[in-house]
Each structure stands twice: as structure tokens, then as C-alpha cells.
Amino acid sequence: MKLSNRITNITGGGSDGWDVFYRARQMKDAGQPVLELTIGEHDIRTHPDILHAMHKAAMGGHTGYAMVPGTDALRDTVAQRIADRTGVPTTRDNIMITSGGQAALFASHHAVCDEGDRALYIDPYYATYPGTIRGVGAIPVPIQTRPEDNFQPQPDVIAAVAKGAKSLLINSPNNPTGVIYNRDTLDGIATVCRENDLWLISDEVYDTQIWDGTHISPRALPDMADRTLVIGSLSKSHAMTGSRIGWVCGPAEVVEGLINLSTHTTYGVPGYIQDAATFALNQGPQVETEVGAPFQHRRALTISALAGQNVVRAVPIQGAMYAMLDIRATGLSGEAFSNALLDAEMIATMPGESFGQAAAGHIRVAMTIDDDAYTDALSRLVAFAKTCT
């Protein structure tokens, strides 16, 4: 029996640069002491207070079907948070609760793209982006950024392919580059969206992890609230990756459509998880600062570890939990370097190429292991890079 083209084509085929990741996992499973700097997951777990809130909600009976768009309490909490942070009037009618940011990305593209529409996204990109776009039947169109621009998107490059496209997906603070889009970039992107009647899908799941610069949500830019869908999640902000809880914030009529989609797919998100999320968001910014603090600290460790040499150079780490390292001075591709580093030092990193062509000659390091091991890994990485030149 034949599967649908849509599901068969989600991954797009071809090598995706993830081989080194799977090889590292195999080595680890075979008992080898591999240091994994690969996946964007905290080395701390969800705070026990949040788990107690989840337990209390479940024991209190919130285990039946929950409201499909999300509980009123969580939608109100998210709406208030967004209104406070951006100044854009936001109510629960603008909020759809989803099973994490990933489901929010899928639902958003589903809401705005028809079969065969061109959906733009910025390269380098979070690994699931093209597959998410293919998954709704649209055509993914990558827009390259350049290391010499520190991977800031250039609005004129977007404008050159925007005609006739349906949507543009952006991500700031960015995974994999750690870059935060500045005001000029975002103003330029907003102009391109208005002039070409594009929906803007703004993935802001790292918006609590800002180390240098300011996070601006493009929904707050002039005339953008009616065409912007913001993706949010508690995965990164509250170390709740496994709870699968996030949201889409957008115009009320989009949320109406998303409710229909959810009714026919997930039928909502578990009530006790939503209660825990409401509790977590109401803990205030201190908790979010604490969750992000190890990355801010390791950002400083990264800068010191790379000082005094220029074989391995870091793209400015402005936000999120990653360091994008330029290893072009070794003459190797990101993929060749990552593979060689794994073999020589048992340190697993992600080749830049696994995030698109724009990050060729780079590797992404997730700053997600304890400080001592992280510092040791970086000094071995630099020493290894020097042997390649």
C-alpha cells in the first residue's frame, strides 16, 4: 500500500547532516564516553514546584477533556503576558494553546498556506522548518543569510523572492545562530510583509533568553498585528520540553480556524499540563531568569575558551542556548569537522549544514552540559581545530 505523497515527502529526502548526531548516540549507547553538545535541551529538569502544581491539578480531577482552545486561565495568562511585554492589546481570543511550539508552527502554516503555496523561511533554520511547511502541502523556500552579516536577514534579499509567496517564518532569538534580529532588520521584514501581503510567522520560543540586545516582537510593529502569528512555548523558558505546551498568538479569526484544526487533530492539550503552565507563567520572570542563567554563564565561558586564537570563531551569541562556531579556517565543512571531532575527541556537535546551506563551514554547539565538562569540551575542540589547519 502506498503512503500519501504529503507524508512521504515531509523530510524532503537526501542527507540532512544529522548522521553525526545518530552516530554519537550509537557510540554512547555502546558505552563510549561521548560528550553531547547537540540537542537544545536544558541540563536541569522542570522545577518541582511546577510538577507539584501539575500533580495537584491531576489529583484535583483536571484529567478529562480540556477546552479545545485552552483553559480560560491559561489563555488569559498568556494574553496578559504578551500585552505586558509588547504593548499590543491581546485577549484570550487571540490565543490558541498547543502541544508545544512545534504544533504551533504546524498549525500556523496550516492556517495560512494552501496546497502549493510558497512559504518562505530564513536559512540557517531550526531543523523542522522545511518539513513543517511540506507537511501542510506548501513549498518551503529558504532565504539565505550570510556569516558576514552575522546571519541577520537582509530585507532586500527577502523582498526579491516575496512576490506571490504566502508566508514568511522568522525566528529571533535564533536557533541555531544565537542571533537576535535588530530593529532595522525587523522594520525591513515588516515592510516586505506589508508590501507583499505576507503572513509573518514569528517563532519567539527563546524570548526569555536574551544576553545581548533587545528582543522585539514584530507583532508590535505598525500594522503588523493583523498579519502576524507569534509562536510561544514553555519548553525553553521553563525547562518544560517534555510537557509539550505552547501557543499561537494571532488575530481572533485565525484562532477560530485553529480551534477547528485542533478539534480534528489533538482535541486540545491536557488540563493538568495547562494548569501547571498557568502556575509556571505566574511565577514571574525570576524563574525564567534562573532557567536561562546557565546558558548566559556558558556564553561567557565560550568567549573565554575561544580567546587568543582565530581558528574557531564564535558568531556573537546574543540569545538562546547555542554557540555557532565558524570553523572555515580549518578548511573543513561543518559536517567533516563534526565527524572528525567525534572520532578524535568523542565530542558530538551539530554540523552547520544540518540547519541549511547558509551555515556551511560552521558547527553548532549546544551549551547544555555542566560548566566543567563544557569548558573542557571547548578547549579540546579548539586544540583539535588547530591540528586541522
Q: What does the binding site for ligand PMP look like in residue numbers (CB under 6 A)?
A: 40, 100-102, 126, 171, 175, 203, 205, 233, 235, 241, 246
CB of 324 to ligand PMP, least distance (A): 13
Residue 13: partners with Cβ closer than 8 Å, 6 or more residues away: none
Bridge partners, residue 199, by sequence: 167
The gap from C-alpha 347 to its chain's centroid, in whole angstroms, comes to: 23
Nearer residue to ligand PMP within complex by CB, 132 or 330: 132
- Please name the amino acid found at residue 271: G
Residue 299: partners with Cβ closer than 8 Å, 6 or more residues away: 211, 317, 323, 367
Nearer residue to ligand PMP within complex by CB, 171 or 339: 171
Nearer residue to ligand PMP within complex by CB, 102 or 349: 102
CB of 32 to ligand PMP, least distance (A): 25
CB of 59 to ligand PMP, least distance (A): 26
Please provide residue 143's backbone torsions phi and psi, each rounded to the nearest 5 degrees: -120, 115
- Contact (CB, 8 A) for 179 and 210: no
Nearer residue to ligand PMP within complex by CB, 272 or 322: 322
Nearer residue to ligand PMP within complex by CB, 90 or 171: 171
CB of 372 to ligand PMP, least distance (A): 25
CB of 61 to ligand PMP, least distance (A): 27
CB of 380 to ligand PMP, least distance (A): 26
> 153 preceded by cis ω (within 30°)?
no
What whole-number distance in Å separates Cα of residue 139 and Cα of residue 159? 17
Nearer residue to ligand PMP within complex by CB, 165 or 230: 230
> In which residue are the cell numbers 511540506 written?
134
CB of 383 to ligand PMP, least distance (A): 29
Residue 129: partners with Cβ closer than 8 Å, 6 or more residues away: 105, 121, 140, 169
C-alpha pair distances (Å), 316 with each of 313, 322, 327: 9, 10, 14
Nearer residue to ligand PMP within complex by CB, 86 or 235: 235
